[in-house]
Amino acid sequence: MDTTRGSFGDPGYQSFSSDNLHNATYGTNDSYPPIDEMGSRSSLARDVRDDTTGFDHWEMNYHEAAIFLEEGENNEKFDSHPRHPSALPAYLLVHNSWYYGLDLAFSLVLLSLALFEKPSVDNFDLPVGIHGTLELLALGVIGIELALKLRWIGWGTILKHKRTMVKCVTLVIMVMEALVVLARQSSHFRITRALRPIFLVDTKACGAVRRFIRQILQSLPPILDMLILLLFFVCSYALLGYFLFSQHLTNLYFRTLPDSFVSMFVLLTTANFPDVMMPSYAITKWSALFFISYISTVLYVLMNLMLAVVYETFTGIERDKFRKLLLHKRKACQLAFRLLVSKQSPNAIRFKQFQGLMRYYSPRTSQRNVILMFHLLNVSGTGSLTQDEFLNIYDALTVKWRLRESLDPWYLSAWPPLRAFYKLSRAVITWKYFEYVVYSLIIGNGVAMFWRIMESSDTLQKSAQVFASAWDTYLFLSLFLLEAVLKVVAVGWNEYIASGWNVFDLTVTLAALMGAVLLYLNPYLTVVVILRPLRLLRLFKLKKRYRDIFGTLVLLSPLMWSTTVVMLVMYYFFAILGMEFFAPYDLRNCCVNTTVEDFYKYSTNSTSALGYYYLNNFSNLLSSGVTLFELTVVNNWFIVMDAYASVTHPYSRLFFMLFYLFTMVVLTIVVASVLEAFRFRIQYKKQTSKRDEEQMLHEEVSIEWSVLQREIGDIRLLEMLQMDFTPRGSTQYIGRRRRTREVLQRHMYITEITQWLDEVREEENRLKSNEIIDESQITSRIVES
């Protein structure tokens, strides 16, 4: 399904681009049904007279209904809905695939400028005039989107929209700073560059990222509560440690109260253990009790308790997010439904209106699929959709269709030997021992790899060629490729790629084959040796526990993408701050008379392994990223922190502590989400049998040709559909949904969904009753007067 609608070629856009609205040529119909038939009239045609000739009001309804469905799908608030014909051109300009791509491209350009601005990556330095002009250009494109948005939303709505307001304020500040940089022809202290990811997060492509950030913000209250408790114990033990160990002259970790706090904060990550304990432990063995009790309380109790609290909160947030999105889509469908009914049929949508809606909502959907969707939704079989049936339109769009039995299979008219090969392929893959043969080949491939790796070779390159580019490599890869060909021929390409494991097998086989050829041509390309062992992962499918793990990973793949973007955004933010604060400082031979002095001893003749810590710096964006990743791992992270505290100011430690807290919050939520996804899958597997899952993921639709003739009535369209449906007969199609998290949630939360919908209906009925009472009271007052 194409979720990007509206472009310069859209007939609706062309109609409203004209200065003369009444001369618009909207839609594709040559004849226009009378406006008296319409149940509701689109707000986008409010200025068009009812007797305007050459204007199809139904097309306007179709278009506005499609916009409502888009807003429901994208979880956009309805207060940004265009309410006037003059707002439609701006709305369509911003909501089209070209502008989405342009917005994303210039957001990435804006982020990448940090590679070229001082301090720049080596050999990437650009003159101020060039990167300053590029910055203004990127900000200008982003500003155009905000200006167009303002045109149809207005200031009143934007002021209520926090994300848009933050984006506007950031844009104004950055434009002013860019102008100052161009005027001075030199950069200055610009920590506001750290806010550039705001524009990336606000793009269409990062909708899931915004939802994940919203979940992080919603999870913050319990996290902050636990952090306050955690810091209380850190401060308490820091105070106690200061009074216990500050007089131990050999223990430099507790000399002052701030040193004691920093040491206990770092000990929270265990990065300085047992170093922080050993000087005092050498004086008295009883000092170990202090450190053991601290680590046991803070690390093993409070940190795990925080994970449990976050997990419980995240589970509730995940369910509430699903509920809100479900009800938001339901509201969007209700708003669209009102625009599609007629006065003759006020409670149902006919096929003609459904077809008109799909022309705008999903223009790439074929006529065959539109018909199949309509019949899938029309459970009652009345030939028109009720509101309850129409509410399932989002689900119907995800179904992929194929003929139950091909009307004219390709192999029937093929060359006779090809027909024989098809039948042979079908017989081979349906053989009950076929899978056992495949697994035996995979095990054989693993044994061959083990044998090859044990062989001795003269050079590393020769060893790589023996392992990944010898005759046995080509033998096993050819057999794996033959397996894929047999499956494709037997079941068809679409059915083959419907299985994730088939896609994995074919991908790694082709990659390993290509890698073997490249390694043969270039022996120094040893990195490709990793490709051959990947096929062994198929063996993990044999055990149920591994299948659950891989299934969880599939469910988590969208979340992992969002997590990756959030982590990169956070890295970018702190990298910019780090470069502004610490870029000028050289750490070689720094930190004299401190606990980290040995890690920064540098000599041009020889440097120990410890002496390379000076490379952990903020000299440019890429180096900053590597340094921040090392801080994320937290192993010896305090060494970098203490080094910069030594060369700058002790309060610079706040930067590193804040970064640790930010990463801890995000990663704790990631761990909670992984636990929730695994628990969700396990519960799903317990409650759902294989048969139930097949019924849930598959649909079957049977369509009579006579029914199509009554519904469509267009002779030319019927002639086109003869390729997909049997004239004067019945055609069966099978539909399949992807096993997405949303589909599984609808199955798992079926009881809760019924309850939510009942509550919403009760609220709607209550509001209608109040409106009726108000109207009756007004009428009685008018009669009395």
Q: Which amino acid is at 471?
A: W
Across 491-633, the runs of DSSP E, i.e. the strands, are: none
* 755 Rama class: left (phi>0) / alpha (psi -120 to 50) / beta: alpha
- Cα 444 to Cα 537: distance, rounded to the nearest angstrom: 14
Residues 6+ apart with CB under 8 A from 463: 455, 457
Residue 255 has a CB neighbour count (10 Å cut-off) of: 16
In this structure, which topology does domain 416-542 adopt according to CATH? Four Helix Bundle (Hemerythrin (Met), subunit A) (1.20.120)
* pLDDT for position 686: 77
Flag whether pLDDT at 413 surpasses 70: no
Q: What element of type H or E holds 168?
A: helix 162-184
48, 57 contact by CB (below 8 A): yes
Residues across the chain: 785
* Band (596; pLDDT cuts 50, 70, 90): confident
Mean pLDDT of 72-87: 76
Q: Is the C-alpha dihedral spanning 690, 692, 693, 695 positive or negative? A: positive
577 three-state secondary structure? helix
* Distances 407 to 402, 489, 731 between C-alpha atoms, Å: 11, 18, 9
- Cα 236 to Cα 252: distance, rounded to the nearest angstrom: 19
Flag whether pLDDT at 773 surpasses 70: no
Q: What percent of the chain has pLDDT over 90?
A: 13
Flag whether pLDDT at 239 surpasses 90: yes
- Percent helix, strand and coil across the chain, each to the nearest 5: 70, 5, 25
| Mean of the per-residue pLDDT values of the chain | 81
Q: Which CATH class is domain 212-313?
A: mainly alpha
Residues 6+ apart with CB under 8 A from 327: 756, 760
- Cα 178 to Cα 171: distance, rounded to the nearest angstrom: 10
315 three-state secondary structure? helix
Q: Which CATH class is domain 553-687?
A: mainly alpha
| Stretch among 26-35, 126-135, 212-221, 430-439 having the lowest mean pLDDT | 26-35
Q: Peptide bond before 363: cis, by omega within 30 degrees of 0?
A: no
Q: What are phi and psi of 197, to 5 degrees?
A: -60, -15
pLDDT per residue as tens digits for the range 626-663 = 999 999 988 888 888 988 988 888 889 999 999 999 99
57, 360 contact by CB (below 8 A): no
* Distances 405 to 14, 79, 700, 718 between C-alpha atoms, Å: 42, 47, 12, 21
User: Is it true that 212-313 and 553-687 share their CATH fold?
Assistant: yes
Q: Which long-range contacts (CB under 8 A, 24 or more apart) does 653-659 make?
A: 653/262, 655/574, 655/577, 655/578, 655/581, 656/631, 657/265, 659/574, 659/628, 659/631
Dig out the tokens for 649 from the structure.
């100011």
* Band (40; pLDDT cuts 50, 70, 90): low
CA 368 distance to own-chain centroid: 30
* Band (406; pLDDT cuts 50, 70, 90): low
* Band (479; pLDDT cuts 50, 70, 90): very high
* Distances 743 to 322, 394, 493, 750 between C-alpha atoms, Å: 11, 11, 24, 11
Give the residue extent of every domain in the chain.
11-208, 212-313, 416-542, 553-687, 749-785
Q: Considering only CA atoms, which of 97, 171, 98 is closest in space to residue 140? A: 171
Q: Considering only CA atoms, which of 422, 506, 438, 512 is closest in space to residue 470? A: 512
119, 583 contact by CB (below 8 A): yes
334, 390 contact by CB (below 8 A): no
* pLDDT for position 121: 82
Residue 715 has a CB neighbour count (10 Å cut-off) of: 8
Residue 710 has a CB neighbour count (10 Å cut-off) of: 10
Q: What are phi and psi of 387, to 5 degrees?
A: -65, -40
The DSSP result for 257-278, as a single string, is: HHHHHHHHHHHTTTTTTTTTTH
Flag whether pLDDT at 781 surpasses 60: no
32-62 burial, b for 16+ CB within 10 Å, e for fewer? beebeebbbbbbbbeebeeebeebbbbbbbb
331, 24 contact by CB (below 8 A): no
